[in-house]
Amino acid sequence: MTTSKLRAAFLGLGVMGSGMASRLLAAGFPLAVYNRTPQKAAACAGAGARVADTPRQAADGADVIISMVADDNASRAVWLGSDGALAGVAPRAVCIESSTVSLGWIRELAAAVAQRRCEFIDAPVTGSKVHAASGELSFLVGGSASVLEKVRPLLATMSKSVVPLGPIGSGAMVKLINNFVCGVQVASLAEALAMIERSGLDRNKALDVLTSGAPGSPLVKMVSARMTAADYTPNFALRLMAKDLDYAMNEAAKLNLALETASAALDRFKLALAARLGDKDMAALFETFKKPKP
């Protein structure tokens, strides 16, 4: 495998995947892409990507296959089965799962990859749509250091950092922990903003105290601006955060740990899902605190 000429396949061209694939194309990596909705592949095709009809076709001839899809079910669909990527992968190719998925699925997928005599790392990312497009993601990697080094040039093209965290599954676990903390922050921020507005405080002044003080994480700053502007164009879909909170709680339960703050946040996200806000940005959670118009 010649790292300077890695042939890649990218599965999933959603909010994150489209930006990541575009970075690979801009860097000159030969790329095949697959997306369940073919229309989303048009931009990549225009930039020189080969558009495949199935994940298997995308994986044909690839040195590296990357999946970036919504959840366990979507990941299973692109990897397994007669049209899945593993049916078309060549021996010794590196398979990378960058989706936010459960540890159980990561371990099952790693075993399936090994049966195909290929190598595997889990490498989910932190960052949003903007970071994907600008190549400023962070990869959280679980798996062999030697496998990571084979694909590091490709990952570096899409990121500002590549963080090795331990054996297979370590990246997936840290990503779930990261996202559950983010989900709790979003829920508490929505509550805080509702409290500010209902108490009659000057919203801008009160939010300035929060965002410039100890609570003012980059996430809080970004999401508070989106909540106040009611700008819910998805950078990170609300339904995906609900899924991540659920996955994190399930993994914690296996460790005999109840994530009570995650549970409370998930209840609020479920209200938003019931209000059909799932495809909007997670900042739309604030809408669940607004009083209905008479």
Other CB atoms closer than 10 Å to residue 61's CB: what's the count? Answer: 15
Pick from 94, 73, 90: nearest CA to 168: 94
CA distances from 79 to 14, 57, 58, 158, 170 (A): 17, 12, 11, 22, 20
The backbone torsions φ and ψ at residue 66, rounded to the nearest 5 degrees and listed phi first, read -120, 130
CB 190 within 8 A of CB 288: yes
Give the residue numbers annotated as catalytic, written as ranges. Answer: 175
Give dist(CA 292, CA 137) in Å, integer.
38
Give dist(CA 259, CA 232) in Å, integer.
27
CA distances from 272 to 24, 194, 269 (A): 35, 15, 5
Give dist(CA 6, CA 77) in Å, integer.
24
Angle between helices 103-115 and 170-198 (to 10 degrees): 150
CB 91 within 8 A of CB 62: no
- Sign of the dihedral through C-alpha 260, 128, 146, 79: positive
